[in-house]
Amino acid sequence: MKTAQGRTDDAVALEPLMMRAQSGDGAAYHALLTEVAVRMRRLVRRRAPWLSAEDTEDLVQDILLSLHQARGTWDPARPFLPWMVAIARARLADNARRYARRAAIDLAAADLAETFFDGAANITEATVVNMMTVRKAMGDLTPAERQAVELLRLREMSLAEAAAVSGSTVAALKVAIHRAMRKMRGTLWKE
């Protein structure tokens, strides 16, 4: 089995499943879709926590349906993960339009590389551009707003943890994150 540098054990496991799925193995396809659903659900919940459970599942189902539609385009000679990430990115972007939550979903799209990849060599140019855009958007924030984004969104702390670390209050952090996301959304819409 061909392996690529920097891929995780989990990631390696998806390629044989997809190969078997492409040859008509329903059980392998079931296992693959279940694994993708778990990862996507986790990702969407983390990056777009305001979405309802139904909206989250809608997004996950969109990605699964899109994977199904696209499965003939995967070439077993090429790695599975960049292929999957490209589909998920496209669907997240489409849904960002639908929910008018583009900024935060774009953050989720940028984070896909972290979810699926652990090697710098696997980060696509598009992801780099996305991350640069996010960084640029963060440049417009006040120090307090930037700290709120870093603690609550990037380091994924709870409000109480972030308040303890920053020496701020939960209420002040709520205001800061709200203002930060609004500003970043405005910046990312312009991009």
- Which residues are at the interface with another protein (CB under 8 A)? 21-30, 33-34, 37, 41, 52-54, 56-57, 60-62, 64-66, 68-75, 78-79, 82-87, 90-91, 94, 124-126
Q: In the complex, what is the shortest distance from the CB of residue 99 to another protein, in angstroms, rounded to a whole number?
A: 16
Residue 9 or 125: which CB sits closer to another protein? 125
Q: In the complex, what is the shortest distance from the CB of residue 155 to another protein, in angstroms, rounded to a whole number?
A: 25
Q: What are phi and psi of 22, to 5 degrees?
A: -70, -20
Residue 26 or 139: which CB sits closer to another protein? 26
Please state at what angle helix 80-99 crosses helix 9-22, rounded to 10 degrees: 90
Match 């193995």 to its residue by tokens.
25
Q: In the complex, what is the shortest distance from the CB of residue 30 to another protein, in angstroms, rounded to a whole number?
A: 4
Residue 24 or 167: which CB sits closer to another protein? 24
Contact 126, 89 (CB under 8 A): yes
Q: In the complex, what is the shortest distance from the CB of residue 87 to another protein, in angstroms, rounded to a whole number?
A: 5
In 3-state terms the chain splits into helix, strand, coil percentages (rounded to 5) of 80, 0, 20
Contact 90, 66 (CB under 8 A): yes
Residue 105 or 141: which CB sits closer to another protein? 105
Q: In the complex, what is the shortest distance from the CB of residue 71 to another protein, in angstroms, rounded to a whole number?
A: 5
DSSP track, 129-145: HHHHHHHHHHTTS-HHH
Residue 76 or 186: which CB sits closer to another protein? 76
- The conformation of residue 155, written as its DSSP 8-state character, comes to S
